[in-house]
Amino acid sequence: MKQSGSSDMALQSALAKSGILHIGIGAFHRAHQAVYTDAAMAAKGGDWHIIGVSLRSTDIVDALNAQDCAFTVIERHAQGPEAHRITSMSHAIAAARDVMPVLDALADPAIRIVTITVTEKAYGIDRQSGKIQNDHPAIRHDLENPDRPSGLLGILVAGLKSRKDAGIAPFTVVSCDNLPANGKLLRSGVTDFARQIDPALGDWISENVSFPSTMVDRITPASTAATYADAKALTGMDDPAAIETEPFSQWVIEDDFPNGRPAWEEGGAILVEDVDPYEGMKLRMLNGSHSLIAYVGQLGRYRYVRDAMANDNFASLVAQHMENSAATMPPLAGIDFAQYGAELTERFRNPEIAHETRQIAMDGTEKLPQRIFAPACDLPGDRERLGTFALCFAAWLAFVQKQIHPTEPGETSRLPDDPRAGEIKELLDIPQGAEGLYDRLANLPGWMPTQLHDNPHWRKAVISRLSTLLSHGADAAIADEIAQ
Ligand code: CS2
């Protein structure tokens, strides 16, 4: 079904110069893939503009369309902010308003690649089995309404179905979220979803669609009034779509694009055969340390990552965690983990970047498995190294309990920002001591790997750190950890 009117015309004229449809046009996409595609087209041309889709929000879509989808990226350098205008996006669509233009675009042979940044919780794929989670709200909705999907997998499968029905080559699907083996996981989930509505479609996808994995990296705090003020000062333009980010950026991509791709290497992307080891390193060393800083930092009132890193004990804890994480991985050709860790430390310290620990602390049940549980599982006989992983999990436990049952005068109870907040709240109906807190939340169904769950050293290590956090606070727990 085609839509009508001026937005249809805008979409049709955008399609004439576009090759990518991107789902999830938050700050990270605008700081990352949009910038690489801009550089690729500046160097090598090509009809690779991006049609941006937001699954939930409408404001960013309206803001972008009102300014021809150009926006400002502020890079926060030590010597001051630098502004870049990015013009690689051609049109934006709010799927929550109407999903049909998204499906129209996906059916158009101009779209050769679909890239995705929707955050971990939007996938609805079980990490262990690779099957879809039938109780995930978007999956449930989309299985019942495959022609009017609202979630990621439903939209991808509807788009691929229209390509199959019309005899058009499928688009390549590229997850750019912080998930281990993100391409393989997405392939498995999309195929499973498709099989549930039409087994032949599932087979066609499995045989014909390419899902390269990627590792994406650029620290991008949420925009604030300071972002908009700097954008205005540097460009002279009001820009509600402006974002700010660090100078560093990295994109490692599996080079498997049967329908072609932009010359992303012109923007510095690294094309490789197997991304998974790079992704593992980044998830464990960068994101794992981030989560440690976020939960311990929230408990100790460190508002920004840079504040935690400015405290000597906290910085030592982070260094210890990076070392412990590096010890969980096989060597990676051409990479020195210690050097990588030193570079991460510099990035975390960057005084120009105001990255809130509260932002990173969100969605813990989605993030901890790949950042903390998986590496901890790779340390079975190494109890000394287990400590920082145990501390991170203990800090998450104390953090969610504190949100539901605040301890400071004047604080009000609130639900943790987490897709499993309802279940967590039910389990923590009354405040728990260290053992009760651990036992209740470690048993969230389908969450902690059995190997870890059944390891008595892990339970003991978490509970002892949790006791310290609950009775003496974050700084005492940090001091204990670095003294171990
Ligand atoms: C962070 C990431 O919010 C988080 O969970 O750990 O967004 C992190 O900043 C990026 O992965 C850096 O590339």
Predicted pLDDT at 3: 47
Beta strand pairing call for 80-86 and 71-77: antiparallel
Q: Would you say residue 239 has pLDDT above 80?
A: yes
- Residue 236: count other Cβ atoms within 10 Å of its Cβ: 8
Predicted pLDDT at 91: 98
Q: How far apart are CA 84 and CA 89, in angstroms?
A: 14
CA of 32 to the centre of ligand 1 (A): 12
105 or 78: whose pLDDT is higher?
Answer: 105
For the CA of 250, the nearest atom of ligand 1: 13
Average pLDDT score over residue span 115-130: 97
Give the end-to-end CA distance of the chain in Å, rounded to a whole number: 64
- Condensed to tens digits (0 to 9), the pLDDT of residues 339-378 reads 999 999 999 999 999 999 999 999 999 999 999 999 999 9
Q: Is 178 in the pocket of ligand 1 (CB under 6 A)?
A: yes
For atom 10 of ligand 1, the residue with the nearest CA is 219
Q: Is 290 in the pocket of ligand 1 (CB under 6 A)?
A: yes
With tokens 């994109």, the residue in question is: 251
Q: pLDDT class for 383, splitting at 50, 70, 90?
A: confident
Complete domains list, the chain, with CATH: 6-272 (3.40.50.720), 276-483 (1.10.1040.10)
Stated pTM of the model:
0.97
For the CA of 287, the nearest atom of ligand 1: 6
Q: Is 72 in the pocket of ligand 1 (CB under 6 A)?
A: no
CA of 239 to the centre of ligand 1 (A): 24
| % of the chain residues with pLDDT over 90 | 96
Q: How far apart are CA 288 and CA 281, in angstroms?
A: 10
- Condensed to tens digits (0 to 9), the pLDDT of residues 20-67 reads 999 999 999 999 999 999 999 999 999 999 999 999 999 999 999 999
Q: pLDDT class for 8, splitting at 50, 70, 90?
A: confident
> Which contiguous run of DSSP H or E holds residue 61?
helix 59-65
For atom 4 of ligand 1, the residue with the nearest CA is 360
- Residue 459: count other Cβ atoms within 10 Å of its Cβ: 17
Q: Is 219 in the pocket of ligand 1 (CB under 6 A)?
A: yes
Q: Is 249 in the pocket of ligand 1 (CB under 6 A)?
A: no
Predicted pLDDT at 5: 64
Q: How far apart are CA 105 and CA 102, in angstroms?
A: 5
- Residue 131: count other Cβ atoms within 10 Å of its Cβ: 15
CA of 10 to the centre of ligand 1 (A): 33
Is the ipTM above a cut-off of 0.95?
yes
